[in-house]
Amino acid sequence: MIPEFAVLGHPNEGKSSVVSTLTEDDQIKVSPIPGETSVSRDYTVTIDGQDIIRFVDTPGFQVPRQTLAWFKAFDGDQAEIVVRFMDTFKNDPFFADECELLSPLSRGAGIIYVVDGSRPVRGDDLAEMEILRLTGLPRMAIINSKTEEKDYTLDWKLEFRKHFNSIRVFNSNTANFTERVKMLESLKAIDQEWENSLSRVIMAFKADWQKRNRLVTASMIQTIEKSLLFSISEPITPVSDPEKVKEKLNEKYQTHIKDLENKMFQQIRALFKHHLFEYRLSEYSVLKHDLFSKQTWELLGLTKEQLAAAGAIVGGTMGAVMDTAAAGITFGVFTVLGGVLGAGSALFGGKKITRKKRAGIRLGGDKLQLGPNKDLQFLYILIDRALIYYSHMINRPHGRRDSSTRPGNQDSKKKGYSTGFNAGQRNVCAKFFKALTGRSFIKDKKVISTFEELIENVLNEISRE
């Protein structure tokens, strides 16, 4: 038997939202309309093919005072009070909702009682609490504040201490992985007999999270490698218009890199079980800017000082910083002229090089090439966008239905994570870039594994924020 908990409460208190967040199931129907849940539904968390824990979403109490009157008058075996109530009223429509919500308790499920902490305690709430106390089952109370305008948390805690084994503030609209684990830790305290089984659940949750982070790391590195090494070329003939060829190459290049990034985003989204089609990033998200836009390159990546220091590891000078790429074709914001980095943030090169040059771009005798990308900053842009998207996914509770997101580092002009890397972390990234782009004469087999370790550690740090 796996641990099972019934999520109970008054209508429209956020029960379905709590279940959705705890089970990471964003397809559970969550509605502001009271009474949307009319029957009890089981939601089992499965990890690696094994059922781990079950939560039951129940209808809200409808006639708690009448139900309490029957509970108080019952003079039989208290261990059978729920079963006897259901047997007595199973065909009575007046108590239909109460029988439905109490059904998981008849098989010994633990109780998670949910209230909206933004409203005051009412008489019906006191009746509900007393009903649950009289069941004699292990029980926890959750204060799920749905708004920030009013807060009656202290009043709720005062009443809860009279009726429940454990109390926790748990906002299903903001709770991340850490909060969910803390919630499970609190459940351990409601009954000593459940400690071992819930400890195994917590271990499974943590191990699964680590597995997901390793998969995200692999997806990130694969995408970064493909993006940095990608190149595209177009034939040049005596009648070709070089400017149009470059525009066409630029468009194809950017589209391909964006497709790679979007596939990575979808993999991350799937790993963290966000399935709703209507999910959208907040309009304030840095990711709303195009990957190659000026805003992206201003807000993400390293500062000029950090980039200069990192460039010393890669070798050569970073050259001049321009607002547009070579020949006036907009490509990101950083264009490098001179030094070993060649023509720019996207290296325009040529095969069978002729003597003709135009705006610093060498035209080949038969083709014009765009890529591979030789700009170290591009590595950090890709890292930042992946980490920000990851942060959005892990910090968006599954019970939330609006477009709220959480930005990255907000302490400086730069909004990404890489600008907060220490010198050692930036060195790891630079060595990875150097090895990947063929600038390292001696291939260090540990470079990629060290970079993988760095990315996974950063993911773990973001998880704990």
CB environment 325-352: b (16+ within 10 A), e (fewer): bbbebebbbbbbeeeebbbbbbbbbbee
Query: 88: pLDDT confidence band, cut at 50, 70 and 90?
Result: very high
Instruction: For tokens 């066409």, name the residue.
Output: 248
Nearest-angstrom CA–CA distance, 418 and 315: 20
- pLDDT at position 213 over 60: yes
Residues 46-51: contacts with CB under 8 Å, at least 24 apart: 47/204, 47/205, 47/207, 47/208, 48/208, 50/204, 51/2
Which tokens belong to 81? Answer: 């009070």
Tens of pLDDT, residues 160-185? 999 998 999 988 888 888 899 999 99
- pLDDT at position 408 over 90: no
Tens of pLDDT, residues 2-46? 999 999 999 888 898 899 899 988 888 776 555 566 789 999 999
Query: 401: pLDDT confidence band, cut at 50, 70 and 90?
Result: low
Nearest-angstrom CA–CA distance, 358 and 363: 8
Q: Taking the model in full, what pTM does it have?
A: 0.83
Please list the residues that pair with 51 across neighbouring strands.
46
**Residue pair 407/286 in contact by the 8 Å Cβ criterion:** yes
**Residue pair 13/74 in contact by the 8 Å Cβ criterion:** no
CA dihedral 33, 35, 40, 45 (to 10 degrees): 20
Give the pairing type, strands 110-115 and 232-235. unpaired
Instruction: For tokens 């609490």, name the residue.
Output: 129
Q: Give the CA radius of gyration of the chain.
A: 29
Nearest-angstrom CA–CA distance, 396 and 256: 28
**Residue pair 430/376 in contact by the 8 Å Cβ criterion:** yes
Q: What is the DSSP string of 158-190?
A: HHHTTT-SEEEE--TTT--HHHHHHHHHHHGGG
Nearest to 55 by CA among 33, 23, 12: 23
Nearest-angstrom CA–CA distance, 89 and 221: 60
> In this predicted structure, what is the pLDDT of residue 1?
83
Tens of pLDDT, residues 44-79? 999 999 999 999 999 999 999 999 999 999 999 999
**Residue pair 273/235 in contact by the 8 Å Cβ criterion:** no
Tens of pLDDT, residues 331-385? 433 232 222 223 333 334 444 333 344 333 444 457 788 888 888 999 999 999 9
